[in-house]
Amino acid sequence: SLYRERERARAGEEQRENPKQTPCCQHRLKPRVLKELQLGAGLQALSLKGKRGLGAIFQDQVVNTRQYLEHVKDSTTGTQGRVVKLFTNHFRVTSRPELLTYKYNIDYMPEIEDGKVRTDLLCQHKHVIGECHIFDGNSLLLPHKLQNRWGKKIVKVTIEFCSELKPTSLDCLRYYNILFRKILKMMDLKQVGRNYYNENEATEFLNHKLVIWPGYSTSILEYETSITLCADVNHKLLRMQTAYDLIMHVDNKSQRKDAKEISKELVGSIVFTKYNNRTYRVDAINWEETPRSTFKKSGGEEITFVDYYKEQQHGLVVTDLTQPLLVSKGKWKKSQQDTPHEPIMLVPELCYLTGLTDEMRKDYRVMRDLAMHTRLDPEKRQHELRRFMNIVQNAQRELQLWDLKFDPNFVSFSGRIMKEVRILQGSRAVRPFQSDWSKETRSGPLLNVKSLDHWLVLYPRRNYGAALSLLQSLRKVTPTMGIAMRDAKMLEVNDTVQSYTTILENHVSSKTQMVISFLLSFKVLCVLSSDRKDLYDGIKKYLCVNCPIPSQCVVARTLDKPQTLMTIATKIAQQMNCKMGGALWKVEIGLRNAMFVGIDCFHDIVNRRKSIAGFVSSVNQELTQWFSQCVFQEAGQELVSGLKACLEAALKLWYKHNLFLPQSIIVYRDGVGDGQLQALIEHEVPQIRSSLKSNGFLSIHVTSDTRFAMLFFLSENKLTCCIPVLCDSRYDFFIVSQSVKDGTVTPTHYNVIHDTVHFTPDGIQCLTYRLCHMYYNLSGVIRVPAPCHYAHKLAYLVGQSIHQEPHYSLASRLFYL
């Protein structure tokens, strides 16, 4: 499909412009570039082959999800709401090649693997292929046809005719993207991953030891009936600290960190090497090897890391010859989880740290200063993109060779502002103020309250005051919300997982409703002295698997500010009420006897554990109770294989609560890339259909990708639904459900892939928007429908902390909030 091809194009470009072998990999090192270029110097002839058949022609197979949806055959555009003019970060291609272009496959004998060398060898023959050409490392696109009149000499470069491409061919988009990336390089931008950054305009934060590189992400794609350039502003955050600095860091007591502490900080982090502009994930530290260690190059000769960087990496000098080496296993790919990979060895001194530490995220000044440069409001974002397009226009020569021209103005279209959704809480109807109704939720009775009669509060001795303050605040806020709360049993613990679990074993009974830990847990409430992951994970695992009781964990530090204590206590009380089976509010969905399902997956790319698929489904018609189940899968597996069993269990619970089966089932599937859309239709949709008889079934694919559209409002920044049709073969739309004070909202893209309920465009758009109001962990509108986010929270908790199937008795509780 168009979307799969775009993903393949992106992957292909990145692979060819950044070959897999790296100069710091002792097992992946290829023959020296110099040697290959010397070999290529003798290249004096080419070999040209004719067309070898249809097998070499790119044939687009569009995933046509609209062809069977007769009820939207004429139009997928809604009409409800007030029409407003919007514009997006797309720029139309106003001119492109109108004649046939010719595609050739390029082969080398002997094989040359380095993409740059392949390009240099081919470019020695510009007198043959011409100045106007696009080469991706394997195939060549020309505006003219070559003539067969060459022989062969030292290196045989075979140019094999593949196909003629019409101007409207989607395969041309891949070459246009390659051409545009060439222009970005001419603008002196450095490629890091998929995006390009301007090191010369970097902003340094000396107080925080941070550097931000401004940059851009771009993609040329088909939009409605034309081709557009989608561009957005991007930022790369680097630290003025190398991995070596972290290893050699001395604490306040003038003591060096031990190997265990260093590994804890470094392993799993991402480092950046400036000599090749690449990022690597640190998987381990090799304390036995140093820069003096040797490795064998592919030619068989041995060389030390020190000599290699000095001789072959622009004279880089490694100063500390006793430092250990970092180990990276390379980029993890879902399709290659069982394939053994040789490690990449990195010298810490040459590896810059990226991202923010936990301490930095807690520092208000750091986050404030970064936000000022990275959170661009629509006006600033427009300004930066206009400046970018002006620079692009200066690269006229490369563009003119292919007759490519871009409209410097943003693409505009019509959107619609949706009607506000009423929030029903008890006997009251609340209208949100700027997408928020937190004040209203704490000023009156909740929709369905659960009394807190038997519950425990666990706290370390030094956090007794914080625990006591929280309890006092809870007593003040719960009566207004209608929650009856008896005194909790307070238990002192040591700051270890074993201490928490031992106390729980001795005091939890069948009557216990909640545990709060400081950290905090319900019916068990646990107050934690810090946000240590091992402590949180241990408590959650015990209370979700071994002793299934709703729990709430609270970090004591969050209770230090008296001015926010009442707000925090309100949030905790509401969460406790939800986890015990209560409900905060509801909205008028406008659809009766319908079950809503959310599906999302969690992949642990750091520890490479099993992937977790989270499945949640509504139990009642008010959408205030939810059933949940997890499916454990192979690492990296996105498509879910156990949906039939999950849906059958969900239908049984629905029938138990309602005494009838739902008439329709609406599934929101998050987390699947557009490249997997056809596989999703073939693998998951049949599982759901096989569990249904006469039920209507609607499946919606949910994505949030700024490569499609980033909306800018001309006059208002309100809740907006806009429907740009990306492809005539799709029944899709965008919704911007949130309103933000800072930055620019990313729209969420919805694609209806199966519909036997026969929703109208207005019906499904309004329904989806209303579901964004039903997430109980926020008194406001969220970016995606509540079922999606519940499934995400479930999969994340199980994948990050529990690593086991939660106890079945918690399946009908929102224990994962």
> What are the tens digits of pLDDT across the range 521-578?
445 777 777 778 888 888 889 889 888 888 888 888 888 888 888 989 999 999 999 9
| CB burial readout 551-566, b (16+ within 10 A) else e | bbbbbbebbeeeeebe
Asked if pLDDT for residue 32 goes beyond 90, the answer is no
Q: Which of 765, 466, 790 is nearest to 625 (CA)?
A: 790
- What's the pLDDT tens digit per position in 144-199? 888 754 444 456 778 888 888 887 777 888 888 999 998 999 888 999 988 999 99
The continuous run of DSSP H or E covering 354 comes out as strand 352-354
pTM: 0.83
**Better pLDDT: 647 or 731:** 647
- Among 422-436, 644-658, 782-796, the minimum mean pLDDT is found in 422-436
Average pLDDT over residues 403-428: 86
Q: Which helix (H) or strand (E) holds 682?
A: helix 677-690
792 is catalytic: yes
Distance CA 447, CA 455 (A): 22
Mean pLDDT of 653-681: 88
Instruction: Please give the helix or strand (H or E) that residue 565 lies within, else none.
Output: helix 562-579
pLDDT category, 292, cuts 50, 70, 90?
very high
- Which amino acid is residue 785, in one-letter code? P
Question: Side-chain half-sphere of 56: how many Cα atoms within 13 Å?
Answer: 19
Q: What is the pLDDT of residue 791?
A: 95
Query: What percent of the chain shows pLDDT beyond 90?
Result: 26
| Confidence bin at 729 (pLDDT 50/70/90) | low
Rounded to an integer, what distance in angstroms lies between the CA atom of residue 440 and that of residue 481? 10
Q: What are phi and psi of 592, to 5 degrees?
A: -100, 150
- For 97-141, give the DSSP string: --S-EEEEEEEEES----HHHHHHHHHTTHHHH-SS-EE-SSEEE
Query: How is the beta sheet containing 134-135 ordered, strand by strand?
Result: 46-49, 156-165, 101-109, 139-142, 134-135
Between helix 562-579 and helix 464-481 the angle, nearest 10°, is 60
Say whether 523 sits in a helix, a strand or coil: strand
Virtual CA dihedral for 563, 564, 569, 571, nearest 10 degrees? 150
What mean pLDDT is predicted for residues 23-31?
Answer: 34
Residues 6 or more apart in contact with residue 587 via CB below 8 angstroms: 421, 422, 423, 424, 770, 773, 774
**Residue 61 in tokens:** 């197979």
The predicted structure's pLDDT at residue 411: 86
Tell me the average pLDDT across 212-231: 86
- Closest among 538, 594, 698, 492 to 65, alpha carbons compared: 698
Measured in whole angstroms, the distance separating CA 177 from the mean position of its chain's CA atoms is 22
Written as six digits, the tokens of 587 are: 């909205």
Q: What pLDDT was estimated at residue 196?
A: 94
Region 123-150: what's the mean pLDDT?
Answer: 81
Spatial separation of the C-alpha atoms in residues 271 and 370, rounded to whole Å: 20
Angle at 722 between CA 721 and CA 724, to 5 degrees: 155
The DSSP code for 800 is I
Catalytic option among 114, 160, 222, 670: 670
Report the relative pairing of strands 134-135 and 696-703 from DSSP bridges: unpaired
Q: What are phi and psi of 460, to 5 degrees?
A: -70, 155
User: Cα 240 to chain center, whole Å?
Assistant: 26
pLDDT computed for residue 198 by the predictor: 93
Question: In 3D, which of 784, 576, 531, 541 has the Cα closest to residue 668?
Answer: 784
pLDDT of residue 503: 87
Closest CA to 749 of 767, 776, 773, 731: 731
> 77 Cβ partners below 8 Å, 6+ apart?
723, 725, 761
pLDDT tens-digit profile of 748-779? 888 888 888 888 888 999 999 999 999 999 98
Helices (H) and strands (E) in the chain, counts: 21, 39
What is the rounded distance in angstroms from the CA atom of residue 495 to the CA atom of residue 530? 9
The confidence score (pLDDT) of residue 606 equals: 63
**pLDDT class of 37 with cuts at 50, 70, 90:** very low
- Separation CA 374–CA 384 (nearest Å): 12
Count other Cβ atoms within 10 Å, centred on residue 485. Answer: 17
**What residues form DSSP beta bridges with 612?**
602, 632
Q: Which residues pair with 271 in a beta bridge?
A: 280, 353
Q: Provide the 3-class DSSP secondary structure of residue 498.
A: helix
In this predicted structure, what is the pLDDT of residue 15?
A: 41
Helix (H) or strand (E) holding 629: strand 626-633
Burial class (CB in 10 A: 0-12, 13-18, 19+), 330: middle
3-state helix, strand, coil in the chain (%, to 5): 30, 25, 40
What per-residue confidence (pLDDT) applies to 636?
Answer: 80
Place of tokens 């710091």: 24
Highest mean pLDDT among 83-87, 187-191, 702-706, 726-730: 187-191
Determine the Cα–Cα distance for residues 338 and 450; give it in Å rounded to an integer. Answer: 48
> Strand 352-354 vs strand 270-273: parallel, antiparallel, or unpaired?
antiparallel
Q: What is the mean pLDDT of residues 618-633?
A: 93
Q: How far is CA 46 from the centre of its chain?
A: 45
Selected residue with higher pLDDT from 511 and 297:
297
Is cis: bond before 686, omega within 30 of 0? no
From the candidates 638, 684, 732, 755, which is the catalytic residue?
638
Burial of 445-476, coded b for 16+ CB within 10 Å and e otherwise, reads ebbbbbebebbbbbbbeebeebbebbbebbee
The sign one gets for the Cα dihedral 27, 32, 37, 42 is negative
**How far is Cα 123 from Cα 119, in angstroms, rounded to an integer?**
6
DSSP 3-state assignment of 85?
A: strand
Contact predicate 751/732, CB 8 Å: yes
What is the maximum alpha-carbon separation in the chain? 93
**Which of 8-17, 107-116, 194-203, 603-612 has the weakest average pLDDT?**
8-17
Sign of the CA dihedral running 245, 246, 249, 255: negative
Question: How many Cα atoms occupy the beta-carbon half-sphere of 665 within 13 Å?
Answer: 26
* 657 counts as catalytic: no
Known catalytic residue: 358? no
CA gap 565, 133 in Å, rounded: 65
* Residue of higher predicted confidence among 672 and 187: 187
What is the pLDDT confidence band of residue 715, given thresholds at 50, 70 and 90?
very low
Q: Which pLDDT score, from 0 to 100, does residue 256 have?
A: 66
Rounded CA separation 55/585 (Å) = 58
Torsion of CA 554, 556, 562, 568, to 10 degrees: -10
Cβ-based neighbour number of residue 758 at 10 Å:
13
List, in sequence order, every residue forming a beta bridge with 227; answer none if it has no partner: 222
- Confirm if 677 and 726 have CB atoms less than 8 A apart: no
Query: Which amino acid would we find at residue 626?
Result: W
Say which amino acid occupies 12.
Answer: G
* Residue 627's pLDDT band (cuts 50, 70, 90): very high
Helices marked H in 344-406 — which ranges? Answer: 358-362, 364-374, 378-393, 396-401
User: What are the residues facing 344 on neighbouring strands?
Assistant: 328
**Tokens in use for 410?**
């943003």
User: Rounded CA gap, 231 and 220, in Å?
Assistant: 9
* List 5, 136, 600, 755, catalytic entry: 600
Whether 379 is a known active-site residue: answer no
> For residue 202, what pLDDT band results from cuts at 50, 70 and 90?
very high
Averaged pLDDT, 440-453: 86
Q: Catalytic pick from 701, 754, 789, 792?
A: 792
Helix (H, G, I), strand (E, B) or coil at 42: coil
| H or E element, residue 177 | helix 171-186
In this prediction, residues 292-308 reach a mean pLDDT of: 84
Query: Would you state the pLDDT for residue 83?
Result: 85
| Alpha-carbon distances, residue 85 vs 71, 418, 432, 764 (angstroms) | 27, 14, 24, 22
Residue 238's pLDDT is 93
Q: What is the mean pLDDT of residues 208-221?
A: 92
Rg (alpha carbons) of the chain, rounded to whole number: 29
Query: Average pLDDT of the chain?
Result: 80
